[in-house]
Amino acid sequence: MSDPTAGELERRYNERFADVREDLQNVQAQLDKRVSVERYQTDQHYGDEAHRQLIERVKAIEDARLAESRQADADRRALEAQRRTDKRLLFSALVVPVLLVFLQVYLATRGAGS
C-alpha cells in the first residue's frame, strides 16, 4: 500500500473537520435547550418573587436604555437643525454680500456704458 497523496490527506482532513464542526453544532443545539444553572437555582431558591423582581429589574434597564436612545435621537436631531441654521447663516453672511457686490458692479458698468 502506498502513502496517501497530499490531495487525499486534505480531503480526509476536510471530512474530519466537517464532522467535528457538525458535532459541535449538535452540542451547541443541545446546550441552547438547557436552562442555565443560575436560573434554575434562582427558581428553586427564591421562587416566583425573585423571578418577578428580576423581570422588573430587566424592564427598568430596558426602559432606561430606551430613554437614552430617545435622548440621543433628540440630541442628533437638534444638532442637525443647528447645522442647517449655521449653513443658512453662512450663506446669508458670506454669499449674499458677495452677490450684492457683483450686482452693484454689474449695474455700475451697465450704467457707465449707456
Q: What is the pLDDT of residues 70-93, one digit of tens each?
A: 999 999 999 999 999 998 888 888
The CA R_g of the chain, rounded to the nearest whole Å, is 36
Query: Amino acid identity of 40?
Result: Y
> Of 21-25, 57-61, 95-99, where does mean pLDDT reach its minimum?
95-99
Q: List, as one string, the DSSP characters of 40-95.
A: HHHHHHTTHHHHHHHHHHHHHHHHHHHHHHHHHHHHHHHHHHHHHHHHHHHIIIII
Query: In this predicted structure, what is the pLDDT of residue 46?
Result: 65
Q: Whose grid coordinates read 451547541?
A: 28
DSSP 34: S
Q: If you average pLDDT over residues 52-70, what whole number do you get?
A: 92
The pLDDT of residue 1 is 62
